[in-house]
Each structure stands twice: as structure tokens, then as C-alpha cells.
Amino acid sequence: MKKYVAIFLMFAMITLCLPIKAEAAQQDNDMLVVLKSSFYGGLTGALIGTAILAFRDKPSDHTEDIQIGAGVGIIVGTLYGLAKTTQAFVQVEDGNLTVQMPTFRFDVDQDTHDLRGSVDLLKIPF
């Protein structure tokens, strides 16, 4: 058990020390945004699962908390990436027509305090 925790901590430290390059061309790729957010979500979930082991009576009996945390983190990260990249149901960009799952937005009306929902159906930049 200690060997796995040590390997995991070494991997986490190595990934934190790597330089991060930001390029404008990479931000245009929506799939890359989704993959990055799911990776970071999984990494964060695994770290939270590892931290939860400190509060267990016998941590070696509950190592599945790391896997559960990583799984939940991947799901949440993927949903976050999809919500961040998806905008309208139908988009027209550079002559290409794209049909995708739209982003649902909810807000509260200031006058009536009712919950309102909205979704963009068509986006045509000009």
C-alpha cells in the first residue's frame, strides 16, 4: 500500500512540475478542452480520494476510495468541459454546419424571483 501511495505522490509531483505551454491554436480545439478538463478532474478526484483515506480507521481496507474519486472526477471534468465548449444546438462557422448538444442556462428573474431556463438554438457569427 505504501508503495502505491509513494508512486502516486511521485507522479503527482512530476506532473505539477512540468511546464505548461499556452498556445492560441490549442484553444480552438474543443475536444482538447474536454480531454484536459476530464484529465484534471480525474487527477483532482484521485487526490481527494487519497485525502479521504486519512479519515478512515484502516486506510488499507478502503483503497477503492481513490478509484471512486478518480471516476467521479473524470465524469465531473468531462461534463464541465462539454459545458464550457458547447454553445448552441446548430452553429455555422466558416461555412461548416455543426449540430451538437446545446448548453442549458438557468437564472432567476429579478422581478418575480422565478427560475428561468434558456438555450441557444442557432449561432451564426457575422
Confidence (pLDDT) at 48: 94
Backbone angles phi, psi at 123, to 5 degrees: -130, 120
Q: Which residue has the higher pLDDT, 81 or 10?
A: 81
CA distance to 3, 5, 64, 73, per residue, from 59 (Å): 14, 11, 10, 20
pTM of the model: 0.56
Report d(CA 99, CA 112) in Å as an integer: 34
pLDDT (tens digit per residue) in 65-112: 999 999 999 999 998 887 777 677 777 777 777 777 676 777 888 888
What does the pLDDT read at residue 27?
46
Average the pLDDT over 56-64 and give the result. 86
